[in-house]
Copies of this chain bind each other. A is one copy, B any other.
Amino acid sequence: MKPFFNRVAMIGVGLIGGSLARGLKKHGLCNTITGYARSVQELEKAVELGVIDDYASSVKDTVKNADLIILAIPMSAFESVFNEMSASIGSETLITDVGSAKASVIEAAKKAFGKLPSGLVPGHPIAGTEKSGVEASFDGLFENRRVILTPTENSSENAVEQVRQMWQQVGAEVVLMTADHHDQVLAATSHLPHVLAFSLVETLGKMHESSEIFRYAAGGFRDFTRIASSDPTMWRDICLHNKSAILSVLKKYERHLKTLELAIEAQDEQAINDIFVRAKAARDENVVD
């Protein structure tokens, strides 16, 4: 069943918000999209590109009469945006988001709304590039990508169903799980790799011969550190908003790295070999390039 929304409020029109807006339009899922962003310039660009139809000058005005509100904003902005909209949303209004950490979104909603609205269905599309901004958005970004929805104990069945169908219509495969489970899985598969890549570039950048060192960085290093080109502010916010899950997997990682370090130190051929063989097998079995 194809859902249809009369007025969509898109709070944040960067890469993800812009791409979702384009997808909604392309697949005929809405009548109008009103955008909101901190920068009027960004909003005008989004109108110019046909990503949104118009924009408002406050969150409050943007969400007025909207039947679907989508928050595509940095993790640090949720609390204030929820606060600004709390007086203006109807009891039936659907609210979803694309934030990279989910427990913290639910916590912010609780603070702002008092009680979690039945229309709130937090979500997270596992999609994106190192680029950011509305110019980088495109309607196919979510095709064949997974979207994780983390309904709260108050989310209505109908709300979950509508958000699920919206994502399916723009080409995504939708999976449901708890917010805590989402945060653990994403800490391991996305947040930790970003932390490691930023740290690697930081380490090399601080070495004496850093400009020479970067000159000899070949294929593997390039691939490995591409994610360190991602938006620093966004990743800082993710670290702050998924802190405990990230720290937990980071500490596991540090222990494994120390084990490997000690094996190299001890020239323990067998131990090094076992780790590398296991890792190669795990990757080859589980990850398709």
Contact = CB atoms under 8 A, between A and B. Distances in A.
Interface of A: 126-129, 145-146, 148, 184-186, 188-190, 192-207, 209-230, 232-233, 235-236, 239-240, 243, 246-247, 249-254, 256-258, 260-261, 264-265, 267, 269, 272-273, 275-280, 282-284, 286-287, 289
Contacts of A232: 273, 276-277, 279-280
A216 B233 contact: no
27 contacts: A145-B218, A146-B216, A185-B213, A185-B216, A188-B207, A189-B218, A190-B217, A190-B220, A193-B220, A193-B224, A196-B257, A197-B224, A202-B275, A206-B252, A214-B287, A215-B286, A220-B226, A222-B287, A222-B289, A223-B227, A229-B284, A230-B280, A233-B276, A246-B264, A250-B264, A251-B261, A254-B258
Given A194-B220, A214-B286, A199 B256 contact: yes
B190 A218 contact: yes
Given A205-B282, A227-B224, A199 B260 contact: yes
B236 A203 contact: no
A195 B260 contact: yes
B229 A247 contact: no
Q: How many copies does the complex hold?
A: 2
B199 A192 contact: no
A272 B161 CA distance: 38
Contacts of A211: 286
Contacts of A145: 218
B224 A289 contact: no
Contacts of A203: 188, 192, 249, 252-253, 256
